[in-house]
Structure 1
Amino acid sequence: MRSISLKELFRQMRLNEAARSPEERKKEYIFVLLLFVFFAAAVFTMRNFIAMNGITADGEDLSSQQMPRGNQALESAKALNAKYEAFRKMREQSPELVALSDAIGRSPVAAVVPSPSLAADTSVPEFVPTVTIKGLVVLGGSTICTLDIDGEESGQIFKPGMTFGGGKGKILSIDSKGVSWRWANKNHRTDL
């Protein structure tokens, strides 16, 4: 088995001489295959380089713009500086956030208390409770009902005019078809 040099291989390929042994043919096929792979990789790399060269940091295609070359470089540099500045601020604040979460027992919202001015300005929306009629009695002018109301004891007895929900809700009227009630200055009706 003799070794073949690259120069000899090129000469044989140029003169179209047939390879003499299966080993030599195998080396030729591998060489041609590697040559093709490297050529394809070079073409792919150059194509990507050319495509990336025409894109700014903001993702805009420079070929569609009619800016002078100096302005393009300046805009690209400004965008890169803004991104770097944002990254630097994030890196500076990251240890502070870790220390804060460690100080409050790894629960970032456990010790969060709004400032008094913010707490006064912030109000939790009042949700309309679900009212379910369990029983209804209408005898002449006297009416009474048993209701299940969210946030109240189950099965309480109510008469017209009674309040619930800490005074936020009020029973307006009771009739044979259902109960009318008010919550947050809005009238609601629960039918049988």
Structure 2
Amino acid sequence: MSQFHGLNVPEDVIRAASAGDAQAHEAIFRICRKPVYTLIRRLIPRVAVADDLFQDTFVEILRSIGTYSGEGSFAGWVRSIAVSKCLMYLRSPWHRSLLWLDDDAASEPPPELRTNAPAAVESRSDLERALARLPALSRSVVWLYDVEGYTHAEIARMLGRTVSFSKSQLARAHARLRDALGPEAGLRSDDEEKVAREPARRASPMARLAVLGE
């Protein structure tokens, strides 16, 4: 499940931040930093780049918070900025120039995945590495769809692609994750995905992938 689920920033804090209050800015950063960083690291495995995008995201959030209209959740608004920053980077020439370094970036899971339970470390580390080694667009689609809960239509709009493109990227990502993790990954095959209905999928997210969003 997405860490943005249930994230709550009090309305008075949002109003104060819109007026330029520094303490309100700090409160928003404190409340939102973990879900924002988790999302960025899932889409951008390379730590140095993810850290830069994390900073850019919060600069944009605090600079444009006055434009938040109150329609829709504040968490959703924050998330949309983080996603936009990541997708802009993935379309940039800088991303393509660093593709050869992706294996190094995938070697270590993000800090919040570390735990004292060896079995949990192994399971999460395997999944993190498998996810990080997906092609950039496939990784983005599988995370946005399976964990963040975006629809194919929403993903297609963000990517500037078609719905069928989003669906094909998801199917390919699931196939590669199944190959890497085995059938216990809980990921549907292409045929199973075709017959699945949206409400059923939302009610039962991909078990092993969803744990990375917690």
Length-normalised TM-score, structure 2: 0.19
Which protein is richer in strand relative to its size?
Answer: 1
TM-score, normalization by structure 1? 0.20
The structure where helix makes up a greater share of residues is: 2
Higher relative contact order (CA 8 A, sep 6+): 2
